Structure 1
Amino acid sequence: MKIQFEKNFWWGTAISGPQSEGIFAKSNLNIMDYWYQQSPEDFHNQMGPEIASDMYHHYNSDIKIMQELNLNSYRTSIQWTRLIKNIKTGEIDQEGYQFYRAYFQKLHDANIKTIVNLYHFDMPIELENIGGWTNKEVVDLYVKYAQIAFECFGDIVDYWATFNEPVVPIEGCYLYQWYYPKIVDFQKGIQAGFNTIVAHAKTVNLFHKMFKHNPNKKITVILNLTPAYPKDQQAENVEAAEIRDLLFNKAFLDTMVLGTFPDKLVELLKQENILPFYTTDEIEAVKDARIDFLGVNYYQPSRIQARTIPWNNNDPIMPAKWFENYQWPERRINPYRGWEIHPQTLYEIGINIKNNYNNIPWIVSENGMGVEDELRYQDSNGQINDNYRIDFIKEHLYWLNQAIKQGSNCFGYQLWTFVDCWSWANSYKNRYGIVSLDLETQTRTIKKSGYWFKEIIENNNVIEIEEGLIK
């Protein structure tokens, strides 16, 4: 069986500044830098962000590898703490500016369409110390930082993103203690989420004002969508899945694509007296903001059922008041991450965007498979034969192709990630790259999946799918 994508389809990879560059020559620390300094034992093998994949020094050779693989698109992020020397005044760090200027110019000259993201979980510690996204002053400082970035690089960067996965810092910092400062406070999480939405909206409106005479300049947000499947069609399980979807998907999808807050979500928070503090001007900014396309990160769905044990109302409120996770008996699991592999969900995301979100143009901005101890699959030439990753990608591309055939307006697919990168507290435990990284020498070696990805483009975007692969 063969599938084919349009000639101008985007093929690429995604990464982030804090996960790839290393902390070389930065004026400021972000929360991840600071967290590692304070608690290195929280990180796998006590490996922090100091060097990461050292893209700070290797971007020229990395871009050459991208060209060798025929990749036509790429996403990375600016580190707020690298570009801005004085977070409060907005004074530019000249060394950081020169680095990003050269990096983005090189990508521009290589004809690689580049999405530059402004924020990837990397709050400056100076701002976290005054409340992070719970503090509206941080919203204003973020918009100031965004304006500086647009002014510095808007001539050579056409595609921008405000945030990567804005729900994740809410989960990680305010609910489930994944990331510093490890607060457990749903009310603060709601305020931080709302303020993030406002920061996004104000930045989108600013961008469109700055570039109103240049239709080639476009801005997006990158959302990680985890559609909620109920255990069955019993009313209480359907309701539980709907609430999970409201809190973790639609809170951002509806506001950032449609400019509206879901009525049911507002009523839910109102009943619990946990609505965020807001102004009418902020609501108007959200209504006015329209992204030009949508970035979708997809890894796994969620499986949900109604609570089997009643919630104790004496406990601090958490999302778990309304639902529980459900373990689907037919699931396939990536054992290294514990994540379900369900490629068909990507089709359903595409159809949902078509039917309920104005069929906005969208791109798969992340999809990928993390595997531990990949050296097991290294051959005598040093290449990792990651056939499991190739099959994973094929399955997802098959279902994406089906959504496109049904009219969903997807124009590209970007893998996480280009080269094995540092992954927060997981460090290098799981590898995602199509290019492997030797941590001691920083040597890059293209994996089998990288060469396979190259063949797609050389083969006129035609992909051969083996019989029996599609589950």
Structure 2
Amino acid sequence: METNTLKIPADFIIGAASSAWQTEGWSGKKENQDSYMDLWYKNNKHVWHNGYGPGIATDFRNRYKEDIALMKEIGLTHFRTSINWSRFLTDYERAVVDDEYASYVDDVINELLKNGVEPMICLEHYELPAALFEKYGGWGSKQVVEWFVAYAEKVFERYADRVKFWFTFNEPIVVQTRVYLDAIRYPFEQNTRKWMQWNFNKALATAKVVQLFKEKGYRERNGAKIGVIVNPEVTYPRSSAPHDQEAARIYDLFFNRVFLDPAVKGEYPQELLELLEKHDIAFESTPEELQTIQVNTVDFLGINLYYPHRVKARSTAWNERTPFHPSYYYEMFDLPGRKMNPFRGWEIYPPIMYDMAIRLKEEYGNIEWFIAENGMGVENEATYKNEEQIIQDDYRIAFITDHLKELLKAVDEGANCKGYMLWAFTDNVSPMNAFKNRYGLVEIDLEDNRNRHLKKSAYWYRELIRTRELIVKNEAACK
């Protein structure tokens, strides 16, 4: 079989990601420090696969030195995680720091740096404090925006001397989409106006934190950068017909450009604003807030990208008795013959990497960005163990190879992509799916005290990082 070797640029990040709530566990957590995810788990434990949730997770809180040693063994250049807002403070309204948790974060950052791994830190990865959600409506409140900025200031003061890569949010659209748009997560309220207000307030919070970051001079003093991690879905219309093209354009407005445009361009698409007015779901804003968004755009973007999104024009009547939903304009479309991850139910289509890269190059000023998440979740991975009890996850190696090939192709054509982060470093808890689908380079053995074992992909990833070469099979030669 013929192969082709692609060179990976010397400054191209090759790392892995996780989050605080999905790894740390509740060890040391005080009774009033629940996050939204903790609240959801406590109220709906039965919907989490086999009852696993964030209570123990991977116990990173107590085993971070062991995990960071594995990062060093694999050779990760960067590790992205989050600080748990709900645990970093004991008083969210007065920004009182929990020194015990803050000292733990200090230790993690120092341990990463000591082992040659660059930390990349997100301020909120679904870890909105439950108290702010229950008392003030979470991100529906402008006051919560101000408290988030105060939290960010405390974090920067403590860690900005060592951390060079900062993000306000991971996937800022997700929680409210699941709760208020689709009503499939606690507390199950279909309310499109709330959904859109959360969207706006998170965009405003990002701009205000960027403003704080600039005013404090972290860019100039420490060479640090601040951005946001979004999950725009590369959206393909069913056909070239105008009605399908319009369906894809409107989907893109509601789910992709709603965060991309304010973060990078400092403004909202006019067509989106008109649709919000038309359907009576416009967010509340002031001219001063819109000005803050306009002049405080991000330095760079993290992009989480797993699968394509395919839509077509609606072919069935809309139920006018229900609140407005953007699917008024579209329906899902399943491409015949598509390649699937049967465990996760997601289409596998590596060209999304190239298509997203070219879009950012052509439509968003070729802003600096990187893949902040990409990966493949598989069930029952223990069945793929060899005689040495190492999981032979060749499917993951192929998945990474195919997607990285498309990404490097775009880089070669001038896309300003600076790296690739695999989701995830270890297997970890996911919303509802818990440990059902495994994503990690490192196995978490739930039957054996959550002990860690490198998978075949971890050894392969180590060689990829060492050689800076991606070996790609020549498909034409294989036929």
TM-score by length of 2: 0.96
Question: CA offsets, 1:354-394, max 9 Å, x none?
Answer: 11111111111100000001001011222100000000000
**Quick one: distance in 2 between partners of 1:182 and 1:32?**
14
Which portions of structure 1, spanning 4 or more consecutive aligned residues, are displaced by more than 3 angstroms? none
1:199 alignment partner in structure 2: 205
2:451 is the counterpart of 1:443: yes
**Quick one: distance in 2 between partners of 1:34 and 1:116?**
23
2:188 is the counterpart of 1:177: no
Question: CA offsets, 1:191-233, max 9 Å, x none?
Answer: 1111111011101111111125326110111011211111101
2:464 is the counterpart of 1:464: no
1:311 alignment partner in structure 2: 318
1:345 alignment partner in structure 2: 352
Cα deviation, residue 48, structure 1: 1.8
Q: Residue 32 of structure 1 contacts residue 180 of structure 1 at CA under 8 Å; is this kept in 2? A: no
2:146 alignment partner in structure 1: 140
**Quick one: distance in 2 between partners of 1:39 and 1:110?**
39
Which one-letter code corresponds to 2:173 in the other structure? V
**Quick one: distance in 2 between partners of 1:114 and 1:100?**
11
Q: Residue 20 of structure 1 contacts residue 422 of structure 1 at CA under 8 Å; is this kept in 2? A: yes
Question: CA offsets, 1:264-316, max 9 Å, x none?
Answer: 10111111121111111110111011211111110011100111012233321
2:398 is the counterpart of 1:395: no
Which one-letter code corresponds to 2:192 in the other structure? F
SS in structure 2 of the partner of residue 424 of structure 1:
coil
Indicate the larger mover: 34-43 or 19-28: 34-43
Cα deviation, residue 451, structure 1: 0.5
**Quick one: distance in 1 between partners of 2:277 and 2:205?**
22
Indicate the larger mover: 113-122 or 461-470: 461-470
Q: Residue 31 of structure 1 contacts residue 180 of structure 1 at CA under 8 Å; is this kept in 2? A: no
1:7 alignment partner in structure 2: 10
SS in structure 2 of the partner of residue 118 of structure 1:
strand
Cα deviation, residue 177, structure 1: 2.7
Match of 1:241 among 248, 251, 265: 248
**Quick one: distance in 2 between partners of 1:126 and 1:90?**
14
Which one-letter code corresponds to 2:27 in the other structure? F
2:131 is the counterpart of 1:126: yes
SS in structure 2 of the partner of residue 372 of structure 1:
coil
Listed as ranges, the gaps of 5+ residues in structure 2 are none
**Quick one: distance in 2 between partners of 1:111 and 1:243?**
44
**Quick one: distance in 2 between partners of 1:204 and 1:158?**
14
Match of 2:72 among 67, 76, 89: 67
Question: CA offsets, 1:427-456, max 9 Å, x none?
Answer: 101000000011241211110001001111
2:58 alignment partner in structure 1: 53
Cα deviation, residue 467, structure 1: 2.1
Which one-letter code corresponds to 1:89 in the other structure? R
1:26 alignment partner in structure 2: 29
Cα deviation, residue 421, structure 1: 0.4
Cα deviation, residue 179, structure 1: 2.7
Q: Residue 231 of structure 1 contacts residue 326 of structure 1 at CA under 8 Å; is this kept in 2? A: yes
SS in structure 1 of the partner of residue 124 of structure 2:
coil
1:16 alignment partner in structure 2: 19
Cα deviation, residue 42, structure 1: 1.6
**Quick one: distance in 2 between partners of 1:191 and 1:269?**
11
1:156 alignment partner in structure 2: 162
**Quick one: distance in 2 between partners of 1:7 and 1:48?**
39
**Quick one: distance in 2 between partners of 1:411 and 1:36?**
36
Q: Residue 390 of structure 2 contacts residue 456 of structure 2 at CA under 8 Å; is this kept in 1? A: yes
**Quick one: distance in 2 between partners of 1:106 and 1:264?**
48
2:193 alignment partner in structure 1: 187
SS in structure 2 of the partner of residue 161 of structure 1:
strand
**Quick one: distance in 2 between partners of 1:33 and 1:82?**
11
TM-score by length of 1: 0.98
Question: CA offsets, 1:69-127, max 9 Å, x none?
Answer: 11101100000111101112111111101100100111122231211000011221101
Which one-letter code corresponds to 1:183 in the other structure? E
Which one-letter code corresponds to 2:150 in the other structure? K
Cα deviation, residue 333, structure 1: 1.1
2:276 alignment partner in structure 1: 269
2:413 is the counterpart of 1:406: yes
**Quick one: distance in 1 between partners of 2:47 and 2:352?**
33
Q: Number of aligned pairs?
A: 470
Q: Residue 26 of structure 1 contacts residue 81 of structure 1 at CA under 8 Å; is this kept in 2? A: no
Percent identity over paired residues: 39
Q: Residue 84 of structure 2 contacts residue 123 of structure 2 at CA under 8 Å; is this kept in 1? A: yes
Match of 2:94 among 79, 82, 89: 89
Q: Residue 58 of structure 2 contacts residue 450 of structure 2 at CA under 8 Å; is this kept in 1? A: yes
**Quick one: distance in 1 between partners of 2:124 and 2:443?**
25
The 5-angstrom pairing of residues 80-119 of structure 1 reads 80-119=85-124
**Quick one: distance in 2 between partners of 1:116 and 1:164?**
10
Listed as ranges, the gaps of 5+ residues in structure 1 are none
**Quick one: distance in 2 between partners of 1:156 and 1:178?**
39
Question: CA offsets, 1:399-444, max 9 Å, x none?
Answer: 0011011100111110000010011211101000000011241211
Which one-letter code corresponds to 1:385 in the other structure? Q
SS in structure 1 of the partner of residue 220 of structure 2:
coil
Q: Residue 159 of structure 1 contacts residue 219 of structure 1 at CA under 8 Å; is this kept in 2? A: yes
2:49 is the counterpart of 1:44: yes
**Quick one: distance in 1 between partners of 2:336 and 2:17?**
32
